[in-house]
Amino acid sequence: MTGSLLFQSLVLGILLGGLYALLAAGLTLYFGVMRVVMIAHAAFLVLAAYLAWDVHDRFGIDPLLSLVVTVPLFFLAGVGFQRLLIARLRPATVTMMSVLLTFAVALLIEGMLGFVYSGTQRRVQLSYSAASIEVFGAQVAVVKLIAFGLAALSLLALYLLLTRSRFGQALRATIQHPQAARLIGIDTDKVAGYGFGLGLATAAVGGAALSLDSTIYPSLHWHWIGPLMAIIVVGGLGSIPGAAIAAMVLGIGQSLLQLPLGTTWAQTVFYLALFATLLVRPQGFFGGRLAQRF
């Protein structure tokens, strides 16, 4: 195993980790505002990827332009999902029942995708699909760089929104202590709805990035939701920085392990990390005051 191969894997791992970080941040948002584990997150991701593919296939537009439509659409869908479905569940059992509800939504989306687009594997072919550039001796595909850039930009935007705006403050207050947030006059229901919308918007961005460089099929979302859920548990449920760091570490780990073990076995790194975390530190490695009770 040469050094340049190792370096190449490291770069690819960082690029993959960026996408994981964005999606895991979305999952953490849902959990933060509503204590909901959104199993349908990856299904929405695949749905967005299919929409990007469809736009490209039908009108010949660059899949990235589908973001103009999908991001607002997913944001609204997220707000609606929270207000119309999650809010209906009994508060005492909301964590458990919402897992089942979002699981049902994931099945629904997978089934509908199979119904509408059939189970055939799809891939977007672009003029720059095969292009790659050299970074310090490592060959990196342009589409992967674009995907990473998109993820990093969205993550930065999310970070600024959460730390610099009044809405971000309200959202973080809702995550920290909903009751206290209500007492100081924050409309937590509304904020929780917007939090959900933001989470789904990350899935829309991730979907466009995903459609650039991977083959998509309806049941793909199971390959994403497993690692993503492992990431948010390892990072500590409810902690966005924790999720981002865990995503980076595990993404790089997966990419490096692919060299000696091959792609399939390398995936198990997420689950091993998950079980190790549970044994050593069940509340996760960063923050995660909430984790053990939920």
Partner 1 sequence: MRNVFERRASSWVALVVGAAALLSFPLWSPNPYILSAGIVVLSYAVLSTSWNFVGGFTGYMSLGHASWFGLGAYGTGLLITRAGVPSFLALGLAGVIVAVLAVPIGIAALRVRGASFVIVSIALVLVLLLVFQSWRDFTGGSDGLVVPRPFPDLLPPRAPHGVLLPVRRAAGPRAAGWWTIDRSRFGLGLKAIREDEDKAQSLGVPTFAYKLVAFVVSATFTALGGGLYALWFGDLDPIFQFSILIGSYMVLMALLGGVRHLFGPVLGALVVGVAIEYFKVSYGDTQFHLVATGLLLAAVVLFMPDGVIPAVAGLLGRLRPQQSSIREVTAAELLEQNRTAADRPDSTDSTDSTNGADRAEVRR
Which parts of this chain interact with partner 1 (CB under 8 A)? 31, 35-37, 39, 85, 88-90, 93, 95-97, 99-101, 103-108, 110-115, 119, 218, 222, 225-226, 229-230, 232-233, 237, 262, 264-265, 267-268, 270-271, 274-275, 278-279, 282, 291-294
Nearest distance in Å: CB 215, partner 1? 17
- Taking the complex as a whole, how short is the minimal distance between the CB of residue 13 and partner 1, in angstroms? 19
* Least distance in angstroms from the C-beta of 159 to partner 1: 24
Compare residues 126 and 250 and give the one whose CB is closer to partner 1: 250
Q: Are 33 and 161 in contact (CB under 8 A)?
A: no
Nearer of residues 72 and 111 to partner 1, judged by Cβ: 111
Q: How far is the CB of 273 from partner 1 (least distance, A)?
A: 10
Residue among 195 and 218 whose Cβ is closer to partner 1: 218
The rounded distance, in Å, linking the Cα atoms of 141 and 149 is 13
Token pair belonging to 39? 């199993």
Q: Which is nearer to partner 1, 125 or 264 (CB)?
A: 264
Q: Are 256 and 10 in contact (CB under 8 A)?
A: yes
Indicate the residue among 207 and 218 with the shorter CB distance to partner 1: 218
Question: Least separation, in Å, of the C-beta of 30 and partner 1?
Answer: 10
> Quick one: CA torsion of 239, 216, 139, 271, rounded to 10 degrees?
40
Cβ within 8 Å of residue 104, ≥6 positions away? none
Least CB distance to partner 1 at residue 264 (A): 4
Closest CA to 31 of 226, 249, 289: 289
3-class state of residue 139 by DSSP: strand
Of the two residues 128 and 275, which places its CB atom closer to partner 1 in the complex?
Answer: 275
Do 200 and 207 touch, CB atoms closer than 8 A?
no
Element (H, E) at 23: helix 3-34
Classified as helix, coil or strand, 186 is coil
